[in-house]
A and B are shown apart, each in its own frame.
Chain A
């Protein structure tokens, strides 16, 4: 069975600081990788996704993530955060043999201080 772990439960930053959220998964087969964001009071939205090709993927709002296959990692980064990036971030994995079943990490709550 696949599992996903996010290293930090809570992160507090000041505006303009850089953000990096760690995500590791365990699964031996081919996977699709995602980062979703949940802003306060809103539904889950896709930030970015990796299916294949260039392991460095760019998403919306200046976010990017790097897939390192040897480390089973898919870390999320943003060079300079804004107050509006305050949200909960979820890493998710979909094993291609498992239809559209997503396995989520526990989430990381990010608070950006103005």
Chain B
């Protein structure tokens, strides 16, 4: 069974640009969550999508957005990039709706904003 796949693995963008990251969950999983990992702030929850609906949202500005498609694949978009957005962005998929389930993480997309 293939794991969670994130593309691209590495990305370099310039301040002010926008970026889209992609996540393919494990087959059959309907929940996709996104996290930002930085040395200073650790792992922080961005948002969760379940059956194409955003179910949870973390404390990030509106520049961070996401969506989920009918095949459960998800994309995350960051507009007007800032230097502080440089981070490892992790996607996790879960098979159920939060009851006694675990999250499986992808390798992440390393975003560098210059």
Q: Point out residues on A near B: beta carbons under 8 Å.
A: 32, 34, 36, 42-46, 49, 51-52, 90, 94, 96, 98-107
Task: Point out the residues of chain B lying under 8 angstroms from A51, CB to CB.
Answer: 100
Q: Please measure, in the bound complex, the distance between the C-alpha atom of A45 and the C-alpha atom of B48, giving whole angstroms.
A: 19
Task: Point out the residues of chain A lying under 8 angstroms from B102, CB to CB.
Answer: 34, 46, 49
Chain A to chain B: the 6 pairs with minimum beta-carbon distance, closest first: A104-B43, A44-B105, A99-B98, A51-B100, A101-B56, A100-B94
Whether, in the assembled complex, B64 has its beta carbon less than 8 Å from a beta carbon of chain A, the answer is no
Q: Is the CB of A107 within 8 A of B31?
A: no
Partner of A103, one of B31, B45, B97: B45
Task: Point out the residues of chain B lying under 8 angstroms from A104, CB to CB.
Answer: 35, 42-44
Q: Please measure, in the bound complex, the distance between the C-alpha atom of A30 and the C-alpha atom of B58, giving whole angstroms.
A: 20
Q: Do A98 and B56 contact each other (CB < 8 Å), given the known contacts A32-B100, A43-B106, A43-B107?
A: yes
Known: A42-B107, A45-B105, A102-B45. 14 other contacts (CB 8 A): A43-B90, A43-B106, A44-B90, A46-B104, A51-B100, A90-B43, A96-B98, A100-B56, A100-B101, A100-B103, A102-B35, A102-B92, A104-B42, A107-B43
Task: Point out the residues of chain A lying under 8 angstroms from B56, CB to CB.
Answer: 98-101
- Chain B contacts with A in 75-114, Cβ cutoff 8 A: 90, 92, 94, 97-108
Q: Is the CB of A43 within 8 A of B108?
A: yes
Q: Is the CB of B99 within 8 A of A96?
A: yes
